[in-house]
Amino acid sequence: QQQVKQSPQSLIVQKGGISIINCAYENTAFDYFPWYQQFPGKGPALLIAIRPDVSEKKEGRFTISFNKSAKQFSLHIMDSQPGDSATYFCAASYTGFQKLVFGTGTRLLVSP
């Protein structure tokens, strides 16, 4: 199964709050899990990525948590800001596959 399931579809968070977006996958061959941020009229931009040899990766306010046994990974945005309002996509791939399988996307709105 090459699907990646993403939730929620949309999310409203107050400024300063924590935004959490979840993804789940079936294919245990996946070994690369990036998150992309997309603003209207722009292409997706790589935000942060993780490989399954670690359970957590943090870059600034963005953290990926990875649960290999549950086949789930999530994006946490700490101290969410109005400038974080965008659509976020999780994705997955594996060495040799050379393609990205995308989740369905989460539209995040951070209210001032």
Partner 1 sequence: SAVISQKPSRDICQRGTSLTIQCQVDSQVTMMFWYRQQPGQSLTLIATANQGSEATYESGFVIDKFPISRPNLTFSTLTVSNMSPEDSSIYLCSVERQGKGYTFGSGTRLTVV
Binding interface with partner 1 (CB under 8 A): 32, 34, 36, 41-46, 49, 89, 98-100, 102-105
Question: Measured from the CB atom, is 17 or 109 closer to partner 1?
Answer: 109
Q: How many helices (H) and strands (E) does the chain have?
A: 0, 11
Q: Which one, 55 or 104, has the nearer CB to partner 1?
A: 104
**Residue closer to partner 1 (CB basis): 21 or 103:** 103
Cβ neighbours of residue 35 closer than 8 Å, sequence gap 6 or more: 21, 46, 47, 48, 49, 62, 64, 75, 88, 89, 90, 91
For residue 50, the 8-state DSSP code is: E
Indicate the DSSP class of residue 83. G
